[in-house]
Amino acid sequence: MNYPQIKFSDRHSDIDLYQLQELFNISAFWAKGRSIEDLSIAITNSDPVISLWDDTKLIGFARATSDGIYRATIWDVVIHPDYQGTGLGSKLVETVLSHPRMKWVERVYLMTTHQQGFYKKMGFIPNTTTTMVLHNQSQQLSSLSAAELQFQE
């Protein structure tokens, strides 16, 4: 891999949401059609957020959420198809994992549909015993009465 013009950034402010939306639409079947507003919310609530640039073109992206010590989840790892197979995807994930916010985390999770082999090369292992998912939590919460949702101040 020899791309001297390629740069990594961990600044949220560097993200061009329109380029990110286009990158997802081109590169990630699981992220097609995400709105600019939703992308903005996801980025705001993630740290680190790593973007990968070829000059002014966004060619890679990944983000994570974490408590900073026990658990973290890596989300939305994507590399533009023109740059896949060059090692940039591995470098992108390594950059997320080495970020100060992630460095000491005990356990890092991620979800993948077809890239298990890619992540296994970096030390990730399948986890079939502890991971669960809850869909559409907002609908379930809206069915609770106001009395059930009172919080202590």
Taking only the tens place, the pLDDT of each residue in 6-49 is: 999 999 999 999 999 999 999 988 888 889 999 999 999 999 99
Question: pLDDT > 70: what percent of the chain?
Answer: 86
Q: How far apart (Å, rounded) are the C-alpha atoms in residues 131 and 88?
A: 28
Q: How far apart (Å, rounded) are the C-alpha atoms in residues 147 and 145?
A: 5
Beta carbons of 28 and 9 less than 8 angstroms apart: no
Tell me the pLDDT band of 57, cut-offs 50, 70 and 90.
very high
Backbone torsions φ then ψ of 104, nearest 5 degrees = -105, 10
**What type of residue is 43?**
I
Q: For position 111, what pLDDT does the model report? A: 87
Burial of 11 (0-12, 13-18, 19+ CB in 10 A): exposed
Tell me the pLDDT band of 148, cut-offs 50, 70 and 90.
low
Plot region of 84 (φ>0 → left; ψ -120 to 50 → alpha; else → beta): beta
Please name each of the domains of the chain with its CATH number.
Answer: 6-127 (3.40.630.30)
Tell me the pLDDT band of 127, cut-offs 50, 70 and 90.
confident
